[in-house]
Each structure stands twice: as structure tokens, then as C-alpha cells.
Amino acid sequence: MLNHQNVYNAATQITEYILKSVSAEDSWGTTDYTDWGPIITVLNVENLLKCGISVNEGWTIVKGKDTTHCSIEKCINYLSNKVQCNGAFGADFWDTCKLATLIVEYNLHDYFEYNKIHAYIMDFVAGGGLEVQTTDYSQSAEWSGPGTYAACVQYLFLSGERDIANDILSKAIALQQIDGSFVGKKNRTGDNIIHPIRHTAQMLKVILKSNYGNDADKIEKIKHWMESVQGSSGEYDDFGQFITYYTAYAALAFLALPTYPQPHTDLAIDYLLSKVHDGKVDDFGGTVMAVQAFDAYLGANSVSSIYKTIQISHAEDLLIENKELKNNIEELSKTIEQYHEKYKDADIVFSKKDAWKWGIWFGLITLLLGVILPIIINVILEVF
């Protein structure tokens, strides 16, 4: 069985790493996939808000002599500037839906041209964009498929567009495979581009919050497939790529179940814990996906206290540092007092090192006056 404190410590460590790693332009990203910066920033902002940091609350990053003042508000302004003229955002439609969901969930409308983003999503759906993006090989959105449908449905439910959301969800349900899974875009040879767990996990979470959530057979079929493809260490592997992402998606889906399958869930969380090193899990994307899984495992109350834990930890570090500084000052004061007592009657005080230096100079001056100066005087007298 998992240790709750270990998961809390890992989530705290990652959150502290995220706080320290915000870039000069108030964002986060990955060097491998540079166009993922905006969506990774969305997910990181979401995580920090869950951890109890308010929008206007700031934190300070100290690197050598440089001090940077950061805040979630600055990161949100970065996101706002990344929204395109037509309301699109990020690398694909999934990114746009996740940003819109963040705005609605945390009431961030004042920071964005929200109506433009909402209109873009509605037009995309009405124009059959979800279907085209999933089936058209010319489209660059390799991650498209039921997972994107799920992200769109999640947003539409939150924004009050329930009829359209239910219509999209029914289309997504029709994409379910015989084994219970949901698969995404395929390449020209018919192979999945992305592991089906990403699509299946997201669909399960949305289904559970819809009318389909009462269909016990459907839910059990999805859960059984997810359990059957899990690796022995709890991972979801796909030729060595994005394992952290997929495993986090699975953990999030398991934890969304009314009664989650503990052995499989614990294995997935345990695998993610094993990948945490110095607050990071692979790249920034993997890091934020892992901490989202940890957050879901811990629950809202525990997660909301993480930032307070970090603040307390920093305060304790400063207290220790101040105590050490105070002790150093006291020791220095004692040393000064000792020297003051020792040399209080002396007019001029030289250390041994100073006396040695002055001795050399005195010898040179004596040599000059006793040897060289008489010679110079004799020469002058002979001339005159």
C-alpha cells in the first residue's frame, strides 16, 4: 500500500521545482517540443492554483546576484498573449480546450478575450473539426482522437453547452473498440500513433461525469482493458516514449472511479514516484502530468496545503540560516573583544606578518642610506 506522506512529499518537491523553474518570459516548456510551452504552462498554472497560491500572490527566485519576482498573474498574461487572433491556442485543439477549461474553472475571464476563445471552439465543433483532425492524415495533430473529444466535452459541460457536449460525447462513444479501449489517430500502415491509454483514460473521466456514468458494464469494460495493458511495474509503455505521460493519464482515470482498483492505481503512482529526481520527472510535460496524478491521489484538502508547506519549509531554513549568522557574529564579537583586551594599551599594533613586511622595508632603506647614498654624494662632490 502506498505511503500517503511519500506522495505528499513528492508533490511538494515537484511544486517547489515548478516555482523555481519558471522562465524569464513567465512560462514553462520543454526543449524537445518547443511548441508545447503554452499548454505546459496551462497545466502548471492549474497545479499551482490547486496548491493554494492565489492569482496575485508572488514568489521570488534568487539565482546568484539576480532576483526575479514571479506570480501566477504574470504566467496568465503570458498565456493570454499566446491566444491567436481567431481564438485558437497552443499546438492543437486539445490545447485550446484545456485553456478554456482553466479559464472557466478558476474564473479567469478578465485576463482573456474569452468570448473569442469560446467562439473558436464552437465554430471548430460545428465545422466537424474534431472528425477531420482525427481522420485526415494531412492534419499535424498526432495526438487527436477521443482524448480531444473528451477535453472538448469537459469544457462544454463547464461552459453550459450541455446539449452540444452530449452530442459530441455520443460521437466519441461510437469510436470505442470491441475490447473497451479508445484509440486515436493511426499512421498510414494502420498503427496507433499514440498509446490508446491516453484516449481511453480521458474518455473514462468524462463518461463518469455524464449520463453514461450509470452504465456499469461500459465502465467495467474500460477499466478491465486499462488493467490488462498495464506493465508489471505499473507503467504504460509505448516503445519507450512518453511513459510518464501515459502512466499519469491511467492513474488519473483510475482515481476518478467511485471505487478505484487499488493494486493497479498504487502500482501506477508508485512507478511515477520512482521517476521523481530533484523535483523533476523526465521533461516538464512529464513532471506536470506526474504531479497531477499525485494531486488526484492526495485529494483537494491535502493539495491545497502544499504551498503553505513550502513556505513553512523556507521560513525554517531562513531561521536556521539566521541562527548560524547570529552565532558567527557572536564569535566574531568575542574575538574582537579578546584583541581589544590584549592590545588596549598599545599605541601601534603590528601583527607578525606586518612586522615581517616592515622589517624588509626597513632593511632596504638602511641599505640605501648606509651604502648607496654615500656613493652618490662622493660622485657629486667629485663632479663639483
Residue 349 has a pLDDT of 53
341, pLDDT greater than 70 = no
Buried-exposed string 226-261: b where 16+ CB fall within 10 A, e elsewhere = beebbeeebbbbbeeebbbbbbbbbbbbbbbbeebb
Q: How far is CA 195 from CA 38, 60, 216, 237, in A?
A: 23, 39, 25, 8
Under DSSP, is residue 262 helix (H, G, I), strand (E, B) or coil?
helix
Task: Write the pLDDT tens digit of every residue in 247-301.
Answer: 999 999 999 999 888 999 999 999 999 999 999 998 888 999 999 999 999 998 8
Give yes or no for a contact between 226 and 254, defined as CB atoms under 8 angstroms apart.
yes
Range in 10-14, 27-31, 313-317 the model is least confident about: 313-317
Greater pLDDT, 346 or 4: 4
Task: Write the pLDDT tens digit of every residue in 102-113.
Answer: 999 999 999 999
Which residues touch 184 (CB under 8 Å, ≥6 apart)? 134, 143, 144, 145, 146, 147, 192, 193, 194, 196, 198, 199
Q: Could you tell me the three cell numbers for 164?
A: 452540444
Q: How far is residue 244's CA from residue 241's CA, in Å, rounded to a whole number?
A: 8
> Does residue 141 come out as left (phi exceeding 0), alpha (psi in the -120 to 50 range) or beta?
beta
> Does residue 226 come out as left (phi exceeding 0), alpha (psi in the -120 to 50 range) or beta?
alpha
CA nearest neighbour of 333 among 343, 325, 345: 325
> Does residue 181 come out as left (phi exceeding 0), alpha (psi in the -120 to 50 range) or beta?
beta
Residue 182 has a pLDDT of 97
Q: Which helix (H) or strand (E) holds 66?
A: strand 66-71
Task: Write the pLDDT tens digit of every residue in 345-360.
Answer: 555 555 555 555 555 6
What pTM does this model have? 0.80
Q: How confident is the model at residue 381 (pLDDT cuts 50, 70, 90)?
A: very low
CA nearest neighbour of 165 among 147, 180, 151, 185: 151
Q: What is the rounded average pLDDT of the residues 26-36?
A: 81
Q: How far is residue 283's CA from residue 31's CA, in Å, rounded to a whole number?
A: 8
Residue 261 has a pLDDT of 86
Residue 212 has a pLDDT of 92
In sign, the C-alpha dihedral spanning 36, 39, 44, 45 is: positive
Range in 48-52, 187-191, 337-341, 366-370 the model is least confident about: 366-370
Q: What is the rounded average pLDDT of the residues 153-160?
A: 97
